[in-house]
Amino acid sequence: MDSTLTFDSAIEILEITDISKVELSNVPKIIKKAKARWHPDRIARFQDEAEIAKYTKAFQLIEPAAELVKAYLNGEYKIGDRYEKKQERVYEEPSDVIRKNATSIQDFLNKVWSKVKSNKYKHFEKEEILSDGFSLKDLLDKDFKEDLVIPAILSFVFGPLALIIPVIIAAIINQVLGSIVMIFILLHMIFCLLGFLPLSRLWLPNILVSIMIWFINFGFNVYLYLVSKEENTVVTILLLIPYWLALAIKYLVLFPINLIAKIIIGDKIVGVVKEKVNYYAGLADWYISELIAKDYNQMNEEELFDLSYLYKEFKEQIN
């Protein structure tokens, strides 16, 4: 994954399929979900250095990606171009002269800006694409390669096994307590089954995804603990049998499901971010607002020329 963080790559890292439904209050949950998805430890057991490097890089970019999304939600990240139509503009003054007169130019523009917008002077609207999204097919391939299925299957088996003794003890102590533990086991098995379904971490609500990951990790960690502590070779091989069965299920069951899912979704793209931008005299409205408010000492030459261009354009409109 490229270390250069664009808005497009930020959307993909955070797996935001519809940014119009995202609010600032959702960002911490999105970060948490992304960290669970991209944590290098999830694939460390496969010892694939390239994949581990990719996950590590993505994990490192989660916070910057979230900051970029927050900037967009706050209106600080703008889109639209300045329409470099210099051949249509006449620059009679050099940049140093424009800078000297920038205060009076900005005062004038500030006074007429609302009138320009209400009169729709040389106005047009253009839909800009901030992120061209990502393919659901690619997500399915990543989901299959990520291997959430094997931990889910192993957790489905070893989670309840680890709770057999607590169930018996709880039932002996109190029937209600025993029923509570049984409900816990039932929920564990349901959430492990959800982890088996393609892209469940995308279409499930964030809170359910967090619960699902917790249940899967619970049973899977029980399995890993048993394998790590067992010194008897025969028992170790017996413990590996469930893993091989899970691997077989993945390729014999999930792989065909993924193929069918890809046929159903076709070439569907999600995560596309579009925004309508208003232009006046060839410049985006947000850019004009920035030019009016910006410290002219901090302006580059091009911004100064644009300021002068706007002065000429709007002066003609007022006159």
- For the stretch 142-161, pLDDT in tens is 777 777 888 999 999 999 98
| Residues 185-243: tens digit of each pLDDT | 999 999 999 888 877 877 788 899 889 999 999 999 999 888 888 777 787 788 888 88
Using alpha carbons, select from 14, 32, 18, 8 the residue that is nearest to residue 209.
32
What is the structure's pLDDT at 106? 92
pTM: 0.52
pLDDT of residue 86: 37
Does residue 88 surpass a pLDDT of 60? no
Q: Residue 20 corresponds to which tokens in the numbers above?
A: 């119009």
As given in the structure block, the two tokens for residue 233 are: 């070779």
Distance CA 154, CA 65 (A): 33
Give the pLDDT of residue 79.
64
- What whole-number distance in Å separates Cα of residue 149 and Cα of residue 55? 18
139: pLDDT strictly greater than 70? yes
Q: In angstroms, rounded to a whole number, what is the distance separating the alpha carbons of residues 89 and 309?
A: 7
| Residue 236 token pair | 């170790």
User: What residues are paired with 134 via a beta bridge?
Assistant: 270
Distances (CA, A) of 23 to 32, 34, 54, 297: 15, 16, 28, 35
Q: How far apart are CA 80 and CA 257, in angstroms?
A: 41
